[in-house]
């Protein structure tokens, strides 16, 4: 199961290489049928993905406001970013968010998965309840609730008041606003946890038995067996978590009322892209930002795959 | 035999390793329950608060403080220019069309990749996987321009048409993986009975792929129901707003003094997802565990 999830997927492409030499009628007919089956997807790929990608690459080097035709400006959009305080703030906010939320998400989901990884009462119930927030976490309703929970008279402050601690609004304070969105993302750790739990189930228990016979303690067994056996899933969850975190939007939009405030503290990269592109109709700048995001994600993905050979362990290879 | 050899160590493991199994169990359950309370309390509180008069909403931490009222639901339901009955209808319409679109386009594409031979298959499959990792922002601006040129702003076409064109590569990948596990002998025998590829697709593969189809349908439901950015970009007219957009506008226009109505409508907006989840949580969780879909 793990190989299905993890980096091997590219090598896993179905089918054999199409051979040019065998041009018989049956093959050609099959290709014709395939073309029919593939028509919707191919249309989407060309019209909604590849075409737009090329167009946005072109727009990245233009000044375009939807009303007058695009005007070629070369690298101006990119050089403008370097001296755009809001852009720099948004990059900073996003990196901070990724750096804090992804590791937190991994650690918490791993810990809860470990707690759930034995035969125990109410297992399915626990699993379902821990998973529920990940279905709701992306909704506007939860983001709106979050604004209350971390607001002035919110739940958190009511809870802190019991201990005599007083604090103003958490979403209104630039030093804590980003933290509330981190908490929102970590709150939805359930789906990551389920993947870890499925992986833990695959670890052969003979390994633990053998290690126990050899006198390895709980902690030793965790680091020498569990962690190595889970590295393909840690890899998968870390990569997907990072890609998702770079694209976070709804929470920041709703909690800050679309502004990215207070003082740009929740101005996520995608939120700023949205503001430039769709509020200010600065389509060229937004496209340049989008392509920069593609580059950054490509670099991160490449780093992940490159580093994988040093720390991801495949039992069967 | 095989079952005992798998089960045995599980039974041995806790007794040989944990010195005080009962104590350990109690500690574990206590930890889990505490965590769940922290995790789910805000949700419960929101539901409870939605039944409270507005001036009692901020009466602290408790779930059952003060008076019970349905006013928030009544007033909230009529909020906005057209009321939430319209927004819910809109959301259901967009979600239903998205599900249909995804199921049709993704299953057709998946069948081709899983069962048919054609030129550049490996290249196309690599492109398909590549689009899974692509941030959607890179197509966001040009797609907006395209839909704007087509005069599709303030229609549901920008939200729904992409689903019919298989833009959700993940679901295609999921179905390819699933169809490849189905025995090819079934196709062969259907072919001997005279079925063509469409026959095999419709009568053999699709019925057998129901678990993958169900997973796709459910995740599409949740994603479309929660989708905020799409409607935010493409739907400005009040009568076309979906529930998330209406909630956002509601939040912006009323501020703090109508929290009760906001919570009432928020609760209602989450209800279909929770209801769906209660019915199908097994399938959903299995889907996550085997495919990594989040």
Tell me what the mean pLDDT of segment B93-97 comes to.
98
For an interface test with B, the pick among A28, A38, A230 (most B C-beta atoms closer than 10 Å) comes out as A38
> Is the model more confident about B259 or about A308?
A308
| Residue A315 pLDDT level (bands cut at 50, 70, 90) | low
pLDDT bracket for residue B12 (50, 70, 90): very low
Question: Is A81 part of the contact surface with chain B (CB cutoff 8 Å)?
Answer: no
Confidence of residue B282 (pLDDT cuts 50, 70, 90): confident
Q: Is A133 on the interface with B (CB under 8 A)?
A: yes
CB contact under 8 A, B141 and A244: no
Task: Give domain A75-309's CATH architecture.
Answer: Orthogonal Bundle (1.10)
- Which residue of B lies nearest to A128 if distances are taken between CA atoms? B281
Residues of chain A found within 8 Å of residue B229, distances taken between Cβ atoms: 249-250, 274
For residue B18, the model assigns a pLDDT of 57
Per-residue pLDDT band for B82 (boundaries 50, 70, 90) equals: confident
How high is the pLDDT of residue B1? 34
Percent of chain B with pLDDT over 90: 63
Residue among A130, A88, A133 nearest A267 (CA): A88
Residues of chain A in contact with residue B108, where contact means CB-CB under 8 angstroms, are 37-38, 40-41
Contact: A145, B266; criterion CB under 8 Å: yes
Contacts of A273 in chain B (CB under 8 A): 137, 140
Question: What confidence tier does B81 reach under pLDDT thresholds 50, 70, 90?
Answer: confident
pLDDT > 70: percent of chain A: 92
Alpha-carbon gap: A257 to the closest alpha carbon of chain B (Å): 7
Q: How confident is the model at residue A149 (pLDDT cuts 50, 70, 90)?
A: very high
Percent over 90 (pLDDT), chain A: 73
- Answer for the pair B28, A120: CB distance below 8 angstroms, yes or no: yes
Per the CB < 8 Å rule, is B16 touching A158? no
Per residue in B214-232, pLDDT (tens digit) is 989 999 999 999 999 999 9
Q: Does the predicted interface ipTM exceed a cut of 0.95?
A: no
pLDDT at residue A214, as a whole number: 87
Model confidence at B169, pLDDT cuts 50, 70, 90, reads: very high
Nearest residue, CB atoms, B289 vs list A51, A194, A253: A194
Residues 2-61 of B with CB under 8 A from A: 6, 9-14, 16-17, 25, 28-29, 31-32, 35-36, 39-43, 45-46, 58, 60-61
A160 interfacial to chain B (CB closer than 8 Å): no
Whole-angstrom Cα distance, residue B281 to residue B274? 10
Per-residue pLDDT at A97 exceeds 80: yes
Question: 3-state DSSP call for residue B77?
Answer: helix
Count of Cβ atoms closer than 10 Å to residue B120 Cβ: 12
| Model pTM score | 0.89
Q: Which two tokens stand for residue A66?
A: 């939807």
What structural domains and CATH numbers belong to chain B? Answer: 21-68 (no CATH), 81-290 (1.10.3720.10)
Instruction: List pLDDT tens digits, range A213-258.
Output: 888 888 888 888 899 999 999 999 999 999 999 999 999 999 998 9
Res. A14: pLDDT tops 90? no
Angle (CA) A310-A313-A316 rounded to 5° is 135
């Amino acid at each position: 199961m793990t190989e299905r999830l993890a980096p091997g997927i590219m090598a896993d492409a179905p089918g054999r290489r199409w051979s040019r030499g065998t041009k018989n009628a049956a093959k050609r007919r099959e290709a014709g049928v395939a073309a029919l089956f593939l028509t919707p997807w191919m249309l989407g790929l060309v019209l909604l993905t590849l075409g737009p990608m090329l167009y946005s690459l072109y727009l990245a080097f233009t000044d375009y406001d939807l009303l007058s035709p695009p005007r070629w400006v070369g690298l101006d959009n990119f050089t403008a970013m370097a001296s755009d305080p809001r852009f720099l703030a948004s990059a900073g906010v996003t990196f901070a968010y990724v750096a804090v939320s992804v590791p937190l998400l991994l650690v918490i989901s791993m810990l809860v998965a470990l707690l759930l990884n034995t035969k125990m009462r109410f297992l399915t119930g626990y699993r379902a309840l821990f998973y529920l927030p990940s279905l709701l976490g992306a909704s506007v309703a939860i983001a709106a609730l979050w604004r209350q929970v971390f607001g002035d008279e919110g739940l958190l402050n009511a809870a802190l008041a019991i201990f005599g601690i007083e604090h103003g609004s958490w979403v209104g304070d630039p030093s804590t606003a980003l933290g509330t969105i981190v908490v929102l993302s970590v709150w939805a750790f359930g789906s990551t946890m389920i993947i870890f739990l499925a992986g833990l189930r695959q670890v052969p228990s003979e390994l633990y038995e053998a290690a126990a016979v050899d006198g390895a303690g709980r902690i030793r067994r965790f680091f020498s067996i569990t962690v190595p056996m889970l590295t393909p899933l840690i890899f998968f969850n870390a990569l997907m978590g990072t890609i998702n975190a770079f694209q976070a939007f709804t929470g920041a939009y709703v909690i800050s009322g679309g502004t990215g405030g207070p003082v740009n503290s929740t101005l996520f990269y995608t939120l700023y892209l949205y503001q430039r592109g769709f509020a200010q109709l600065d389509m060229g700048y937004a496209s340049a930002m989008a392509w920069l995001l593609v580059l950054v994600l490509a670099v991160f993905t490449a780093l992940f795959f490159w580093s994988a050979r040093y720390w991801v362990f495949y039992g069967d290879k | 035999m095989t079952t005992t050899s798998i089960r045995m160590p599980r039974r041995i493991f806790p007794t040989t390793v944990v010195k005080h199994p009962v104590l350990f169990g109690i500690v574990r359950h206590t930890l889990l329950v505490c965590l769940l309370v922290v995790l789910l309390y805000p949700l419960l509180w929101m539901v409870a608060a939605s039944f409270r008069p507005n001036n009692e909403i901020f009466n602290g931490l408790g779930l059952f403080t003060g008076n019970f009222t349905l006013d928030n639901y009544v007033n909230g339901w009529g909020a906005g220019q057209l009321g939430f009955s319209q927004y819910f209808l809109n959301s259901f319409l967009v979600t239903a069309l998205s599900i249909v679109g995804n199921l049709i386009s993704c299953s057709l594409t998946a069948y081709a990749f899983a069962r048919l031979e054609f030129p550049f298959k490996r290249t196309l499959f690599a492109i398909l996987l590549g689009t899974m990792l692509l941030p959607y922002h890179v197509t966001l601006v040009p797609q907006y321009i395209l839909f704007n040129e087509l005069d599709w702003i303030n229609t549901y076409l920008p939200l729904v048409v992409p689903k019919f064109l298989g833009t959700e590569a993940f679901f295609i990948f999921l179905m390819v993986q699933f169809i490849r596990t189905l025995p090819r002998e079934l196709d062969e025998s259907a072919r001997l009975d005279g079925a063509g590829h469409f026959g095999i697709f419709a009568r053999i593969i699709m019925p057998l792929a129901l678990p993958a189809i169900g997973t796709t349908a459910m995740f599409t439901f949740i994603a479309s129901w929660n989708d905020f950015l799409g409607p935010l970009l493409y739907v400005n007219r009040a009568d076309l707003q979906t529930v998330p957009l209406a909630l956002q506008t509601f939040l912006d226009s009323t501020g703090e003094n109508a929290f009760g109505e906001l919570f009432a409508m928020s609760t209602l907006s989450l209800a279909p997802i929770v209801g769906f989840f209660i019915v199908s949580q097994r399938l959903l969780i299995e889907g996550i565990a085997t495919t990594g879909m989040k």
